[in-house]
């Protein structure tokens, strides 16, 4: 049969067998409610707290600073809305970037409707925020700086440590969206001056529907879900114990394997980038060439209109790749199917036609050198066929 190559690990990852096996007992054997005081409750609570230790260890935090959520989006909302409203008496100004994930951008837009002011910082051609721009944007009313760490769409790694130092110096809360970077690049919340940090289980071989927000001891947050006193009164609702247990194990494995897996993925990434740039003319790498996620490739091809990549389903590269057994994407999974060109690529200064026509390939555990060789044999003819059909070429 046809070779199947999954290259969309930034969208989601499969749950690892080791993660599945630690989760299984918590569905039926240890099914208790972690808030119950009897034996069943205590068994669930033990699994929950063990997972909290493992999640904290991945980012150099204390276990009591980890708040479990339903995923990255909820954690971003809790961090941003929670800080904005808790610190409203001190000011109403937030600083973020033009290339954030929609979980951050749309939360900022909602806060603007509620009377907050948000500065969306520009980025350079690599999608990188300049710490000097952050410094310039700060006013006496600035209460929060929120920034992505490893970029979901173009793979660039932002200078969070430098920006965190600026935030710390000015007494401003600093939130980092580390959904893509946690478990793939080293993170130390103390060294990087981070007050709040978002993580998601399903980006690191854990189950979907669970994530965490790191909340530095002493940081003030208003809960966004009210009810019982779960998760230090910051997130009401009975905890998803099996999911959290799986997330904890996924974090433990990620930490243990980080140095070796990061090196392995970086080699595959560079093999793929070099292969594409050398075999397909008029191709641009999006994002920083070296300061980028170890597993991340994003390229744009000139002379292919974006519509054909995204929408004429039968002849777009992603669909052609799909027919060839390759799973890739044209940007964030959360926005695929939208007619708009990528807000990220436009912010980086790409012209519309290139911003429409990008291909994102994100590597993971299952990928091998043979996979990359296969992609490099399949992709060039697809691009050249589309260019032959393209109206851009002639006109």
Q: Which residues are catalytic?
A: 334
In DSSP terms, 174 is beta-bridged to: 145
In DSSP terms, 185 is beta-bridged to: 182
Unique residue bearing structure tokens 């691009």: 383
Does residue 232 contact residue 49 with C-beta atoms inside 8 Å?
no
Residue 148 DSSP one-character state = E
Cα dist from 123 to 97, 133, 192, 230, 348, whole Å: 7, 9, 20, 39, 6
Sign of the dihedral defined by the CA atoms of residues 290, 296, 297, 300, in that order: negative
Which tokens is 267 given? 């080699």
Q: How many CB atoms lie within 10 A of CB 128?
A: 20
Q: How many CB atoms lie within 10 A of CB 140?
A: 8
Q: How many CB atoms lie within 10 A of CB 227?
A: 11
C-alpha span between 352 and 86 (Å, rounded): 40
Does residue 207 contact residue 246 with C-beta atoms inside 8 Å?
yes
Q: Residues near 288 by Cβ (< 8 Å), separated by ≥ 6?
A: 126, 127, 128, 155, 156, 157
Q: Which candidate, 153, 177, 179, 184, places its Cα nearest to that of 295? A: 184
Q: Which candidate, 13, 12, 40, places its Cα nearest to that of 25? A: 40
Unique residue bearing structure tokens 């929609």: 102
């Amino acid at each position: 049969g046809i070779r199947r190559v999954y290259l969309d690990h930034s969208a989601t990852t499969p749950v690892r067998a080791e993660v599945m096996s630690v989760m299984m007992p918590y569905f039926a054997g240890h099914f208790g409610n972690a808030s119950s005081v009897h034996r069943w409750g205590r068994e669930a609570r033990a699994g929950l707290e063990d997972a909290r230790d493992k999640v904290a260890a991945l980012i150099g935090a204390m276990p009591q600073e980890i708040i479990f959520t339903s995923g990255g989006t909820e954690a971003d909302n809790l961090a941003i809305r929670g800080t904005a409203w808790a610190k409203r008496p001190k000011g109403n100004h937030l600083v973020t970037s033009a290339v954030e994930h929609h979980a951050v951008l749309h939360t900022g837009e909602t806060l603007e409707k509620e009377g907050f002011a948000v500065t969306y910082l520009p980025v350079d051609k690599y999608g990188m925020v300049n710490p000097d721009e952050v410094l310039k944007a700060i006013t006496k009313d600035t209460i929060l700086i929120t920034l992505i760490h490893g970029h979901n769409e173009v793979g660039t790694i932002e200078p969070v440590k430098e920006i965190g130092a600026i935030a710390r110096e000015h007494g401003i809360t600093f939130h980092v969206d580390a959904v893509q970077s946690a478990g793939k690049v080293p993170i130390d919340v103390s060294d990087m001056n981070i007050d709040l940090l978002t993580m998601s289980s399903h980006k690191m071989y854990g189950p979907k529907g669970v994530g965490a927000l790191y909340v530095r001891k002493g940081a003030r947050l208003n809960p966004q879900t009210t009810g019982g006193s779960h998760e230090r009164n910051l997130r009401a609702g009975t905890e998803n114990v099996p999911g959290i247990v799986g997330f904890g194990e996924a974090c433990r494995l990620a930490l243990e394997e980080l140095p070796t897996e990061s090196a392995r993925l970086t080699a595959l990434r560079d093999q793929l980038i070099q292969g594409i740039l050398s075999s397909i003319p008029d191709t641009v790498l999006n994002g920083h060439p070296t300061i980028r996620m170890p597993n991340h490739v994003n390229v744009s091809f000139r002379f292919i209109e974006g519509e054909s990549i995204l929408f004429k389903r039968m002849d777009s590269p992603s669909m052609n790749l799909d027919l060839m057994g390759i799973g890739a994407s044209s940007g964030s999974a959360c926005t695929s199917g939208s007619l708009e060109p990528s807000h990220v690529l436009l912010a980086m200064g790409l012209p519309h036609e290139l911003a429409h026509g990008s291909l994102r390939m994100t590597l993971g555990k299952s990928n091998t050198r043979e996979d990359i060789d296969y992609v490099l044999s399949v992709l060039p003819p697809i691009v050249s066929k589309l260019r032959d059909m393209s109206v851009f070429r002639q006109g």
